[in-house]
Chains A and B, each alone.
Chain A
Amino acid sequence: MPPLENVLIVNAIIFAIGVMGVLTRRNAVLILMSLELMLNAVSLNMVAFAVYGRVGFGNFTGIIFALFIIVIAAAEVALALGIVVRTFRNRATANVDEINLLKW
């Protein structure tokens, strides 16, 4: 197995790609995909720590957490995609720059 540090570096890179995607993309669907990338990086971290047995977690806590994150990510995508679809129906756009009513 590769050393834990390498796995963490890969995860950090994936996470950073996700962050950049969320910040720079304008299409709501692509932002959601970047968000998923961030979530996956986090779950990978959890699994990595569980597998390498570092940190005071019990052996399965990390894996269980990863499973929970997957479930929550699925629920979140269902919700968020629903919102995007409704927005698209109403405004004929999925560009987040034009969806700017969430303010005072």
Chain B
Amino acid sequence: MFWLEHAYILPAIPAAAFVAMFLFGRFLPRQGDWFSIFAIGSVFVLFFFVLESHLDSINAGLGGIGNAGFNWLEFGDFHLRIGFTVDSITVVMLGVVSLVSLLVHVYSVSYMRHHGRPEPRYWWYFTVLSLFSASMLALVLADNLLLLYIAWEGVGVCSFLLIGFYYERPSAVEAAKKAFVTTRLGDVGLLIGIILFWRATGTFQISEIIEAAQAGRTNDLAPVMGDAYLTLATLLLFLGAMGKSAQVPFHVWLPDAMEGPTPVSALIHAATMVVAGVYLVARMLPVFDVAPGALELVLAVGLITSLLAGAIAITQTDIKKVLAYSTISQLGFMFVALGAGAVGIAMFHLMTHAFFKAALFLGSGSVIHMTDEQEMGKLGGLWWRMPITTITFTLSAAALAGIAPLSGFFSKDEIFSVVEATQDEAILILLGISAFLSALYMARLVILTFFGPPKDLAVIKRTKEAGPLITIPLVILTLLTLFVGWFALDQIGDAFGFPGGINNYIYFPEPEFFHFNSGLAAATGLVSLLGILTAWWFWWGANARRATAVREFQPRMAAVLENKFYFDEAYQWAIDNLVLRFASMVAWFDRHIVNDTGINGPGDSLRYASFWTKFHVTGRIPDYALLMIVGIASAGALGFLLR
């Protein structure tokens, strides 16, 4: 069980690699890319030791939970503990983060080069990737909200740095700023929420906060927090989750974040960082459970987000933008599962989504790298030029669309079955519409990018399949996408030596049995097929005229979708008319009241009063500093002599 208590070694390795890369990376051979890869690779190996310890501990009846930590600050009775814990949710996240991160590191060696030459700041790219891996691993291992918050901001900074990696491009700078500020808005809520919990309970430990929130609601004790207080603190936490996981109305930063290098989009903006919000809510779900109204809000936000983002994705023309909106939509699905109270199912969808979405982004990166194009209007017909990319991309897209027996089918079906069991019919139907939209936009993306006639012959002619460093990660992720969903079936778990189904192990101690509901599965499968057929009807080859016809039939609706429901415009309007107007009022007050009267008034009077004595003042800052220091020192010496 060594690794349960010493899991903090996992984030420590890339953290050390970050320091070394930051100081020496650019002087190492190959700018040190092998160093970062070695660090994250050893984390991935160690993950299996953690997993083994975890399973051993469960089989021995010890609960599979390990904890280690130390006191960071001590003021009398006040202790600030930095601790790391391993439980089933953490183990799932550790596996996802270390595997996807390793694959993205390897992929980047090829992607971040042009004609074999490393791009500028190649070493810096790997340095930040190491820092990101360290922060993300610390985030999932944290057993207290304070360390979680620190790591939360750490991944936010890495996201900012990597979105703005090509900072010569003004659009990349803008996107990085937008991402940072938008997520910050949510983070302020998260911080206030953490402080509110601390104020009521005197601790940052997640387990103790959960106990305190439940006290009085699940037993006969007096409640630690009133209902209103608890709900407020919980919703503030959720605000942070919404910002990080790009839920409406904070979703506007994620599509712009596609300005970063594509492997970064795969790692940070699809598989790991953006699911930190889902992870936070999953971790704190017992609190959400007892806070009145919190779960309903989580479900509503997730549902609205998945519908809106799915609708927007249909009209986007940039490969990466479609994938970004699809990520937002799938994150909405995860929040719906959480809102229905199913942690295990949300984590399951998180895991399957991490694999197929990383595969999709890396596949789109392969297309972008080899064609230098990311507008679907210039692609098409790539399938015979890039067979491996086409096959992996299509399979992953089918998984996202929910085609059996790929992983997305199982995880989505679980979400449907839990929603059917606990929520209204209307919610189930809306979720079905959202699933239909997912199938529609994924099929459209695949058709317009890889099939049909090539829209630009010059692009096709210069394109060939990417090298092995790019295709091997694609194949590995696609294989995972093919098989990981089967773990939902109890029999498969039995066959692999996990009696009673693998979910008994992954989601210990409260395994939510995955009721494979064949009626519902057939219905969702039909919905997905319908979505794909619709996409075929509208966009396959010459059918594209039908899409144009619909667009011309309803130009206003098309414009609303193409402009993403005018969220950006609304925010710009609010900034221009509310924030800047208020700021100009403050500026006027500062200039005329504070400056002219408050500062220049006394200054002017001194100036006139000191007309004959002022000329010894030189204006040189060092002279002033010297006078101050000599004055203070002599005052001190005088005090010492006269003591």
Contact = CB atoms under 8 A, between A and B. Distances in A.
Interface of A: 19, 22-24, 26, 28, 31, 59-60, 63, 96-97, 99-104
- Which of B615, B617, B621, B629 neighbours the largest number of chain A CB atoms within 10 Å of its CB? B621
A104 B626 contact: no
B607 A100 contact: no
Contacts of B620: 96-97, 100
B640 to A, nearest CB: 14
Contacts of A63: 75
Contacts of B622: 22-24, 26, 96-97
Contact of B629 (A23, A59, A102, A103): A23
Contacts of B519: none
B618 A19 contact: no
Nearest to B607: A104
- Which of B610, B615, B620 neighbours the largest number of chain A CB atoms within 10 Å of its CB? B620
A10 B629 CA distance: 20
B625 interface: yes
20 contacts: A19-B629, A22-B629, A23-B622, A23-B626, A26-B622, A28-B621, A31-B621, A63-B75, A97-B622, A100-B618, A100-B619, A102-B619, A102-B624, A103-B614, A103-B617, A103-B618, A103-B619, A104-B607, A104-B610, A104-B614
Contacts of B614: 103-104
Contacts of A19: 629
Contacts of A26: 622
Contacts of B76: 59-60
Interface in B592-643: 607, 610, 614-615, 617-622, 624-626, 629
A28 B621 CA distance: 10
Given A23-B622, A23-B629, A96-B622, A104 B617 contact: yes
A90 B489 CA distance: 68
A99 B626 contact: no
B625 A60 contact: no
Nearest to A58: B76
Interface residues of B, number: 16
A28 B620 CA distance: 12
A96 to B, nearest CB: 4
Contacts of A59: 76
A59 B617 CA distance: 44
Interface in B74-117: 75-76
A75 to B, nearest CB: 18
Nearest to A38: B629
Given A104-B607, A104-B615, A99 B75 contact: no
A101 B624 CA distance: 13
A90 to B, nearest CB: 16
Contacts of B619: 100-103
Contact of A96 (B607, B610, B617, B621): B621
Interface of B is mostly: helix
A97 B296 CA distance: 63
Contacts of A101: 619
A60 B619 CA distance: 41
A14 B610 CA distance: 38
B75 A60 contact: yes
A90 B619 CA distance: 18
Given A100-B620, A102-B619, A103-B618, 14 more contacts: A19-B629, A23-B626, A24-B622, A26-B622, A31-B621, A31-B625, A60-B76, A63-B75, A96-B622, A101-B619, A102-B624, A103-B614, A103-B617, A103-B619
Nearest to A35: B625
Contacts of B617: 103-104
Nearest to A19: B629
A76 B580 CA distance: 26
Contacts of B621: 28, 31, 96, 99-100, 102
B145 to A, nearest CB: 20
Nearest to B610: A104
Nearest to A100: B619
A103 B617 CA distance: 6
B162 to A, nearest CB: 25
A16 to B, nearest CB: 11
Contacts of B629: 19, 22-23
- Which of A24, A26, A59, A100 neighbours the largest number of chain B CB atoms within 10 Å of its CB? A100
For the complex of A and B, list the 3 residue pairs with the smallest distance between their C-beta atoms, beginning with the closest.
Answer: A103-B619, A100-B619, A96-B621
A8 to B, nearest CB: 15
A57 to B, nearest CB: 14
B625 A23 contact: yes
A104 B604 CA distance: 10
A24 B625 CA distance: 10
A101 B610 CA distance: 17
Contacts of B626: 23
A23 B626 CA distance: 6
Contacts of A24: 622
Nearest to A64: B75
Contact of B625 (A22, A99, A104): A22
A96 B615 CA distance: 20
A86 to B, nearest CB: 15
Nearest to B633: A19
Nearest to A98: B620
Nearest to A28: B621
Contacts of A100: 618-621
A31 B626 CA distance: 13
Contacts of B607: 104
A63 B78 CA distance: 13
Interface string B278-317: 0000000000000000000000000000000000000000
Nearest to B615: A104
B609 to A, nearest CB: 12
A66 to B, nearest CB: 12
A102 B620 CA distance: 8
A96 B624 CA distance: 11
A37 B216 CA distance: 51
A28 B622 CA distance: 10
Nearest to B75: A60
Contacts of B75: 60, 63
Interface in B196-239: none
B64 to A, nearest CB: 39
